[in-house]
């Protein structure tokens, strides 16, 4: 009986890890892009200290994916969110 309880607990822990990691790349890419765009906005307003803080926060997220197995997915999503709504010239 104890064996079944451990088995069920293992399955539940695995399921929790699976569900919490699925949205991570997407939400991280969205957040990093938002911070980058906000940093650019603050730079244009000459609020350079605020811009630097925002930029550093975005870089922390980006660096997390540099050698991550999902780096390609992250980079693609990041670029999409960063460039969303911008006009191509």
Look at residue 86 in the predicted model and tell me its pLDDT: 77
8 — pLDDT class (breaks 50, 70, 90): confident
The rounded distance, in Å, linking the Cα atoms of 62 and 71 is 9
Percent of the chain, pLDDT > 90?
A: 66
Look at residue 3 in the predicted model and tell me its pLDDT: 77
Q: Where are the domains of the chain?
A: 23-83
Flag whether pLDDT at 7 surpasses 80. Answer: no
The rounded distance, in Å, linking the Cα atoms of 54 and 43 is 10
Which tens digit of pLDDT belongs to each residue from 18-58? 555 556 999 999 999 999 999 999 999 999 999 999 999 99
User: Which residue's structure tokens are 């000459």?
Assistant: 46
**Residue 89: in which H helix or E strand, if any?**
none
Flag whether pLDDT at 60 surpasses 90. Answer: yes
- Per the CB < 8 A criterion, the answer to whether 51 and 31 are in contact is no
């Amino acid at each position: 009986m104890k064996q079944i309880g451990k088995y069920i607990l293992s399955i539940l822990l695995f399921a929790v890890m699976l569900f919490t990691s699925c949205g991570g790349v997407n939400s991280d890419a969205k957040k990093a892009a938002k911070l980058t765009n906000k940093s650019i906005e603050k730079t244009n307003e000459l609020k350079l200290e605020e811009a630097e803080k925002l930029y550093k926060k975005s870089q922390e997220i980006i660096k997390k994916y540099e050698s991550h197995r999902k780096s390609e997915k992250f980079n693609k999503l990041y670029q999409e969110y960063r460039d969303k709504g911008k006009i191509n010239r």
